[in-house]
């Protein structure tokens, strides 16, 4: 029986990345696509609350049923889970995003948040991003994505999501590396446009010290990076420290 795969993104339904990913996986799987009707980059895990979300068929992706929505990326997973009663996915794929999602990018990324939302429902999830904000060889990256899913899906246990970044299309791919998140600090500034109006601008170059096994460093060396991410952000070492200092119930904090 063919696997059922839900594919979403944050770049919008017309992005070349999601089209390449969906058409590649549709060759061997039953694919359903649900994506925003326009770009929703850097919206993190936003959900549409208090207003109507629309859903429309989209017929320009070959080999699968596709839909566009007025919602956010995370909405796409939630809507698919509740509205497509005939389609319970075996896994969820996000991307391929136009632009990298490494280091601190994962906190802003709608692409990664799709994977987290899928994990909340218990679905294995992969987020795919390409380094370049310009030209990218999405069809080639989709081939690699299929190989990565094939190898890592059996290791998906519901605790983590897989964050995958492809190097710049002008760089020869040297292989796959398992990497930790690097240090990614952008050169941001706000451009004043009028009275009380500003636009955030950001240089694509990033600063920060990065060890040789981080995603930020390895991408620049031509490697595909794979980073398992946990949505449990609890600092367990700090909890242990606080327990030792104040007691397991925190009684020492309020003690006279």
Min mean pLDDT across 30-39, 59-68, 131-140 is at 131-140
Going along the chain from its start, the domains and CATH numbers come out as 4-254 (3.40.1210.10)
Instruction: Provide the pairing of β-strand 125-130 with 4-8.
Output: unpaired
CA distance 187 to 189: 7
Confidence band, pLDDT 50/70/90 cuts, at residue 15 = very high
Residue 116 CA: distances (Å) to CA of 2, 9, 69, 122, 216? 24, 13, 19, 10, 21
Q: What pLDDT, in 10s, does the model give residues 90-143?
A: 999 999 999 999 998 999 999 999 999 999 999 999 999 998 877 789 999 999
Peptide linkage before 96 cis (omega within 30 of 0): yes
11: CB partners within 8 A, 6+ apart: 17, 18, 35, 39, 40, 41, 97, 98
CA distance 247 to 252: 6
CA distance 90 to 99: 27
Q: Residue 201 has what pLDDT?
A: 87
Angle at CA 156, nearest 5°, toward 152 and 160?
Answer: 115
When pLDDT is averaged across residues 159-183 and rounded to a whole number, the result is 92
Q: Enter the pTM of the model.
A: 0.93
Dihedral angle sign, alpha carbons of residues 223, 211, 101, 203: negative
């Amino acid at each position: 029986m063919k696997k059922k795969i839900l594919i979403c993104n944050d770049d919008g339904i017309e992005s070349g990345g999601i089209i390449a990913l969906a058409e590649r996986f549709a060759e061997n799987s039953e694919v359903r696509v649900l994506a925003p009707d326009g770009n929703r980059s850097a919206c993190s895990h936003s959900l549409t609350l208090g207003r109507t979300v629309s859903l429309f068929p989209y017929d320009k992706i070959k080999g699968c049923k596709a839909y566009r929505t007025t919602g956010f990326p995370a909405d796409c997973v939630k809507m698919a889970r509740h509205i497509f009663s005939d389609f319970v996915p075996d896994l969820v794929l996000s991307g391929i995003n136009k632009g990298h999602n490494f280091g601190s990018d994962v906190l802003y990324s709608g692409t990664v948040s799709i994977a987290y939302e899928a994990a909340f429902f218990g679905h294995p999830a992969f987020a795919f991003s390409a380094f370049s904000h310009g030209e990218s060889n999405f069809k080639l990256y989709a081939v690699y994505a299929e190989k990565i899913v094939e190898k890592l899906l059996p290791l998906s246990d519901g605790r983590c999501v897989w964050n995958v970044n492809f190097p710049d299309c002008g760089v020869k791919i040297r292989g796959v590396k398992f990497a930790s998140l690097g240090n990614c600090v952008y050169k941001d500034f706000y451009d004043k446009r009028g009275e009380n109006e500003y636009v955030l601008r950001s240089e694509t170059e990033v600063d920060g010290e990065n060890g040789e096994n981080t995603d930020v460093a390895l991408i620049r060396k031509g490697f595909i990076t794979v980073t398992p991410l946990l949505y449990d952000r609890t600092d367990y070492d700090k909890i242990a420290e606080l327990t030792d200092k104040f007691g397991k119930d925190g009684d020492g904090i309020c003690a006279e």
